[in-house]
Amino acid sequence: MAGNNVNDVELLSDWLKDTSEPHEFEEPILDDFVLQTLQFASDKFDLDVHVFILSVCIIEQYLRKRENGSVCPIDEGLILMAGLFISSKFIGGTNHLSSEDAVGFLESVTFRDYEIHMLMRSEEEILRVINFSIPLATVADHLGLLSQMYLERHKINMNLMPLCNHILQMLYVRRKKWYNELKNLYSQDEETIVAFRFLMINKFYIPAAVLLTCWHITEVKTIVDFNTAVNELQLITKIQRDHLNLAAGVILNLFEKKS
């Protein structure tokens, strides 16, 4: 047991040291309606938020790489469900989406006929184009670890993950809106534009902003001093509190509008 604890501490230490994602951040591609459809499918089949987030990553990665090498038309519905299908298999566990269910859902929302072999062909096409490169961790994983670490550190007996995941999912469904809003706020001059780029490749930026949003609307702020909490997040993420507060403010605004 002691050995496992040491390994856990070492892994956590490595995770905290590496703040950047292994690639440049690229602007969102998928429109709100497409993301809402993807979310609807995820909810219908009780798929974890990790499946939804990963499917967005896979689909957008495919679309970016495909733009550079193909002019053939694609069936957007098939690509959407194939991305979700791949993601559900990759995450595994109880997140099982059968090919029959995927095709049935696609037919119900498009009023068109599809065959399972068409889904399989789209799955193969996506994996080939992205060169089988599927992220091992997403923003949902970083959010879970950050939340767990903070709650354990302060001995807070409260499960924030359902709300955090709900906020994250809402944020992803409206990705273009919050991204463009933040981008506009950071478009004052070259210095702020560069700062925004660095923020968007920091793997803690969105998780920390979501966690901060969660604190704003729960009882955590009555348990832990809010300024202390934000200062600690700043220390962990290496992101100045002004940036975190600004991002949380944008998310809160979106959350309140939706509610």
Specify the domain boundaries for CATH 1.10.472.10 within the chain.
20-129
Q: Which fold has domain 20-129?
A: Cyclin A; domain 1 (1.10.472)
Mean pLDDT of 49-56: 96
In this predicted structure, the answer to whether residue 244 has a pLDDT above a threshold of 90 is yes
CA atoms within 13 A on the CB side of 256: 9
pLDDT reported for residue 1: 38
Can you give the pLDDT at residue 17?
A: 64
Q: Copy the structure tokens of residue 126.
A: 């996506």
Q: Phi, psi (5° rounding) for residue 20?
A: -95, 145
Q: Tell me: the pLDDT tens digits for 106-161?
A: 999 999 999 999 999 999 999 999 999 998 889 999 999 888 887 777 777 778 88
* Residue keyed to tokens 């879970």: 144
**What is the pTM (predicted TM-score) of this model?**
0.87
